[in-house]
Amino acid sequence: QVQLVESGGGVVQPRRSLRLSCAASGFTFSSSGIYWVRQAPGKGLEWVALISFDGSSKDYADSVKGRFTISRDNSKNTVSLQMNSLTPEDTAVYYCVRDGNFYDTSGYMHGAFDMWGQGTMVIVSS
């Protein structure tokens, strides 16, 4: 079954840490860039972090830079997001997302988020 499954969400106090995991199956995980995208309650979508297919390249949204760390283990088909120094503003559903490669009619490659996990809720509250 082709899917991404997140885990690790929950309720955590401010300034504490949480680690999210994403397990992939049914596709060639080691060929895919993976993103974390979050959605605060009633709000829009916000990119959080990305990791390249081989883990050599990582990037973070300014809002989480220095606090969050993304990593992957291609031998286990998993991606993790270590979240430290959490604040109430980090409260959201966190989605693990595959960056699919597509080609337009001119032959140029495009990235698009073609596979999403079901999401895991993180609530930061005292």
Question: Which CB sits closer to other proteins, 13 or 62?
Answer: 62
DSSP 49: E
Asked if 104 interacts with other proteins (CB under 8 A), we say yes
Asked if 64 interacts with other proteins (CB under 8 A), we say no
Tokens of 40: 């605060």
Asked if 89 interacts with other proteins (CB under 8 A), we say no
**Rounded to the nearest 5°, which phi and psi values hold at 84?**
-110, 165
Number of residues that bind other proteins (CB under 8 A): 24
**Rounded to the nearest 5°, which phi and psi values hold at 30?**
-70, 0
121 within 8 A of 7, measured Cβ to Cβ: no
Residue given tokens 């959605």 in the structure block: 39
Asked if 11 interacts with other proteins (CB under 8 A), we say no
Question: Which CB sits closer to other proteins, 29 or 95?
Answer: 95
Which helix (H) or strand (E) covers residue 60, if one does? strand 58-60
Per CB under 8 A, contacts with other proteins among 33-62 are 35, 44-47, 50, 59, 61
Q: Which residues bind other proteins (CB under 8 A)?
A: 35, 44-47, 50, 59, 61, 95, 100, 102-105, 108, 110-114, 116-119
